[in-house]
Amino acid sequence: MMKDLSTYKNFYLDQLLGDTLPFWFPRSIDHQYGGYLLMRDRDGSLIDDDKAVWIQGRFCWLLATLYNTVEKKEEWLLGAKTGIEFLEKFGFDTDGQMFFHLTRDGKPIRKRRYFFSETFAVIGYAAYAKASGDAQIADKARQLFGKCIEYAEQPGLLTPKFTDVRPAKGIGVPMILINTAQQLRDTIGDPRCDTYIMKWIEEIERDFVKDDLRCVMEQVAPDGSIIDHIDGRTHLPGHAIEAAWFILNQAQHLDNDERLIALGTKIIDYIWERAWDTDYGGIYYFRDVFGKPVQEYYHDMKFWWPHNELIIAALLAYLLTSNEKYAKIHEQVHNYAYGHFHDKEYGEWFGYLHRDGTLAQTAKGNLFKGPFHLPRQEWFCWWMIDRFEKNKLLSQEV
């Protein structure tokens, strides 16, 4: 058994409340325009007062989730509320689609051809609706989830980036939607969630997981075949790892469903074999399934978030299987990540290391990084171990 389960539990909660959250809260609340000011340098100074819509939704989700699960702190609830109000006022275009990038006072800078802003709004709205009991926001969360399903099932609704000569689909859509549905289900509930979660898991298993290659693809043709071109071959370990723990989470929800445990742990195995850098440590950002060069220049950099996701995935795999292999992976990634990404001086994590583990830049928040993957990891790992210990105690009492 993992030696220090309760040490880890305390560590994660302490880090979350004593190191990660204080970097962002309360200073990021924008008292003038609402929402959050999150694009910050190492020491917390503001790099940019623009607002990335993804991260507005994500921070709202975090504060409401802490309120729902850690402590009923009024300041967290109020903090979540300002995010909801800002998104309600400024997040949506007249066609109902959400923007991607806003000015501090909510003017739209950019709308993208994806619906990830929507998925992060769903989890923010749902968590806040539970925290506040606001039925209107709960309705809105469910409506927005319905919109996400539409976008996913009718790809033509959003302007395509490519022609239809070489159709492709990404794992990002079913992956993120599993988590969106799980969050919705676990907060305010929605009858569509469980059916859709299983549908998206099946899609990932059928079309993206390649047992013959021991790999999980980032994009494939609509029939699941590999597109043997530079983009089609590029896979993103971080997305596959997220899919793995969302699937393991579903396995736990279904009374430790063995088939889903096998699927989730298999994905971890494949990614571990392909994406752990055995020379320098850390998870590579992009890889080519056949070992060829990839187009993205930062392919071998170490980004913070795949490490957060693997810390969760390996811990959950260990709790579900008691297989020491996953305890070892968890420990190895935990030690690498807290050793290399954590900023001991100002708190929180750096986001971007060179392949060899040296720091590439100091931003703690930008258009894509903010208070999400790291605090979610610390929160979820704390919560998961806590639940595991309580269940064990319960079964011992029985």
Judged by CB under 8 A, the chain residues 85 through 124 that form the site for its own copies are 103, 107-111
Residues recorded for the chain: 398
Q: And the tokens for 204?
A: 């990932």
Supply the minimum distance, in Å, between the C-beta of residue 294 and its own copies.
7
Supply the minimum distance, in Å, between the C-beta of residue 109 and its own copies.
6
350: left (phi over 0), alpha (psi -120 to 50) or beta: beta
Please give the Cα distance from 133 to 72 (Å, whole number): 13
Please give the Cα distance from 182 to 363 (Å, whole number): 30
Angle among Cα 315, 299, 172 to the nearest 5 degrees reads: 60
By the rule CB under 8 A, 252 interacts with its own copies: no
Supply the minimum distance, in Å, between the C-beta of residue 233 and its own copies.
9
Supply the minimum distance, in Å, between the C-beta of residue 144 and its own copies.
22
- Residues 6+ away with beta carbon under 8 Å from 106: 33, 35, 51, 86, 89, 90
Q: Which stretch binds its own copies (CB under 8 A): 43-51, 149-157, 238-246, 331-339?
A: 43-51
Please give the Cα distance from 223 to 226 (Å, whole number): 9
Q: Which stretch binds its own copies (CB under 8 A): 4-12, 162-170, 275-283, 389-397?
A: 162-170
Cα 32 to Cα 28, 86, 104, 106, 291: the distances in Å are 11, 11, 9, 11, 50
Residue from the set 11, 33, 298, 338 that interacts with its own copies by CB under 8 A:
298
Residue closer to its own copies (CB basis): 297 or 396: 297
Judged by CB under 8 A, the chain residues 180 through 199 that form the site for its own copies are none
Site string for its own copies, 47-76 (x = CB under 8 A): xx-x--------------------------
Residue from the set 136, 322, 361, 391 that interacts with its own copies by CB under 8 A:
361
Q: And the tokens for 87?
A: 């998104």
By the rule CB under 8 A, 278 interacts with its own copies: no
Cβ burial 126-136 (10 Å sphere, 16+ → b, else e): bbbbbbbebee
By the rule CB under 8 A, 254 interacts with its own copies: no
Element (H, E) at 302: strand 302-303
Residue closer to its own copies (CB basis): 111 or 192: 111
Binding site for its own copies (CB under 8 A): 39, 41, 47-48, 50, 103, 107-111, 161-163, 165-166, 229-230, 292-295, 297-301, 303, 352, 354-356, 360-363, 366-368
